[in-house]
């Protein structure tokens, strides 16, 4: 069954397929809005003398951005095919092919601690068991005052998220030939529950993508769309019902 596929293996052989997906107009919009929010965050917190791990770095889209913000940038992924593409894009970043949820982790990373860890386009796609395993393991790589930044790219309570749930629960998935990953959703509440037994807690979040959109389909021309979505994103308006959630987490303070 489609929902039993391990997300670790989804793009092992076809990095080109992932590149095609992330090049679409709607995903580019979300990427640009996320980048603007991170520019402000890193300007406020400082990053030029700090280190970052881009977990589940994939084909390096975000690693390419991060290597120009941090003194040290390491991309980590389980897929050699994806890392090969990422290496071709980046100038300074270092890449490690390893699975941090496994018993044995690459020697280059097992004892490292980072100021920031990022994970883009991962948690929504990952199975619940994988999400739990990652959240249990990642904090050991994060400094006590560090930030864990990640996104959820199909929020359950957004228009597109609700539509995905209708498709899933009505059985239309087979008729529409929609892959299960495409309609898998995740909410802020899911993230909070995921963090309950972990060392992490949510510090803040933004929402982006109020208007319905998918692949290269958007309701407005790019110029108007960017202004409209940017206005709501920067002011954190209606963020809980936005298509994408950009979340900043930190380690829980010990009592």
Sign, Cα dihedral of 200, 202, 204, 206: positive
Listed by start position, the domains of the chain span 15-154+186-251
Position 2 scores a pLDDT of 42
CATH architecture of 15-154+186-251: 3-Layer(aba) Sandwich (3.40)
pLDDT of 114 > 80? The answer is: yes
Convert the pLDDT of each residue in 21-59 to its tens digit: 667 889 999 999 999 999 999 999 988 899 999 999 999
**How far is residue 18 from each of residues 46, 95, 111, 114, 233, measured CA to CA in Å?**
31, 18, 30, 27, 26
- Tens digits of per-residue pLDDT, 164-212? 999 999 988 888 778 888 899 999 999 999 999 999 999 999 999 999 9
Q: pLDDT-based confidence at 3, cuts 50/70/90?
A: very low
């Amino acid at each position: 069954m489609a929902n039993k596929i391990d997300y670790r293996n989804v793009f092992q052989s076809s990095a080109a397929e992932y590149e095609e997906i992330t090049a679409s107009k709607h995903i580019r919009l979300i990427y640009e809005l996320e980048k603007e929010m991170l520019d402000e965050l890193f300007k406020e917190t400082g990053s030029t003398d700090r280190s970052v791990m881009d977990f589940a770095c994939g084909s390096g889209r975000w690693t390419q951005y991060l290597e120009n913000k941090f003194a040290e940038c390491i991309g980590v992924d389980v897929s050699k095919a994806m890392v090969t593409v990422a290496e071709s894009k980046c100038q300074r970043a270092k890449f490690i092919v390893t699975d941090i949820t496994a018993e044995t982790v690459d020697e280059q990373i097992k004892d490292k601690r980072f100021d920031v860890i990022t994970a883009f386009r991962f948690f929504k796609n990952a199975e619940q068991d994988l999400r739990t395993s990652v959240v249990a393991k990642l904090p050991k790589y994060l400094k006590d005052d560090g930030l864990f930044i990640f996104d959820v790219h199909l929020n359950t309570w957004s228009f597109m998220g609700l539509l995905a749930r209708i498709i899933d629960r009505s059985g239309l998935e087979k008729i529409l030939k929609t892959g299960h990953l495409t309609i898998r959703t995740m909410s802020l509440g899911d993230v909070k529950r995921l963090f309950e037994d972990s060392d992490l807690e949510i510090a803040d979040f933004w929402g982006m993508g109020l208007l319905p959109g998918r692949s290269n389909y958007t309701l407005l021309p790019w110029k108007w769309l960017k202004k409209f979505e940017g206005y709501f994103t920067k002011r954190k308006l209606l963020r809980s019902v936005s298509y994408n959630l950009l979340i900043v987490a930190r380690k829980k303070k010990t009592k």
